[in-house]
Amino acid sequence: MQQCKLGQGLEVSTIGLGCMGMSSGFGPPADRQEMIMVMRKAVELGVTFFDTAEVYGAHHNELLVGEALEPFKGQVLIATKFGFEPDPSQGGAWMKLNSKPAHIREVAEGSLKRLRVDAIDLLYQHRVDPQVPIEDVAGAVKDLIAEGKVKHFGLSEASAATIRRAHAVLPVTALQSEYSLWFREIETEILGTLEELGIGLVPFAPLGKGFLTGAVSASTTFEEGDFRNRSPRFAAEARAANQRLVDLISAFAARKKATAAQVALAWLLAQKPWVAPIPGTRKISRLEENIGSLGVRLSTEELAELRAAVERIPVTGDRYPPEFKTMSGR
């Protein structure tokens, strides 16, 4: 497995594994033993970078990741997140922001136990909390690092200004934000800021939450509990409109004797050397396919051709419904 250096010297496998979907977001939790097998197969294939959060399944995913990866202590890196708590106004859904220093410490202590580790390799603020100065957030994580409970600090979906303010208090190792051929908003300002400050990028939803694989069409039905049922971008009419993008990527992939997913990941990896995407999956076959993207090489001409083509296709639909405003970050 190729390695990628994020900020502060943190080295991870170039392809990581996003574990959220094993517990939440895409319908009911998957079979526990099957997911443990997927994660352990990932280790066997060279993946050393695993992503979770306390909010994923209300601790379910951290417990699952902790059990699956306990035999590989010292061989793998686990990233988790703080920043949410149950919101009574939303029926107890984990949508209320809370990045108060006392809450950060409470979450970190819980995550250490659930993940069965002595220190959290990478601790992200899951979303920016406008009620808590980012300097206080960075200061709280800095204290945890000084105590040996956390090794690296990260942010998610933060603005360039927020990144700079946090970095001035505690060097930021990585930014986790959505980035793919389907969503390129961070190219405007964020990528340049990360490069200037020496911060790595961990793209989530690098396959457009499954859409860029070609496995989702306008006629696809999602399970109950799948957040895509509520996402404007996944409304049937939006999927029909956005199919042009998938068709383009699929046609390009056919020329490369690769899959659409592999081309989408190869495109991301070609953007910067400090980019480590974390595609999620519940299937070993998809895991192997995603890792196979490391063998897809895109020339300068092919990258330019692909970018020019996708930029001619407008994307229909917002990422999140209005009630998910806390997920938009910044």
Phi, psi (deg, nearest 5) at residue 13: -65, 140
Burial class (CB in 10 A: 0-12, 13-18, 19+), 219: exposed
| CB contact set of 313 (below 8 Å; sequence gap of 6+) | 244, 245, 248
Domain ranges of the chain: 3-208+268-296
| CB contact set of 78 (below 8 Å; sequence gap of 6+) | 50, 51, 52, 65, 69, 115, 117, 120, 121, 122
- Catalytic residues, by residue number, are 56
Nearest to 158, CA basis, from 211, 83, 214: 83
Q: What is the full per-residue pLDDT of the chain (330 aa) written as tens digits?
A: 999 999 999 999 999 999 999 999 999 999 999 999 999 999 999 999 999 999 999 999 999 999 999 999 999 999 999 999 987 777 767 788 999 999 999 999 999 999 999 999 999 999 999 999 999 999 999 999 999 999 999 999 999 999 999 999 999 999 999 999 999 999 999 999 999 999 999 999 999 999 999 999 888 999 998 999 999 999 999 999 999 999 999 999 999 999 999 999 999 999 999 999 999 999 999 999 999 999 999 999 999 999 999 999 999 999 988 877 666 666
Residue 209: how many other CB atoms lie within 10 Å = 25
Phi, psi (deg, nearest 5) at residue 94: -80, 75
Phi, psi (deg, nearest 5) at residue 186: -70, -10
Write out the two tokens for 105: 């410490």
Domain 3-208+268-296: what homologous superfamily? NADP-dependent oxidoreductase domain (3.20.20.100)
pTM: 0.95
Radius of gyration of the chain (CA): 19
Burial class (CB in 10 A: 0-12, 13-18, 19+), 321: middle
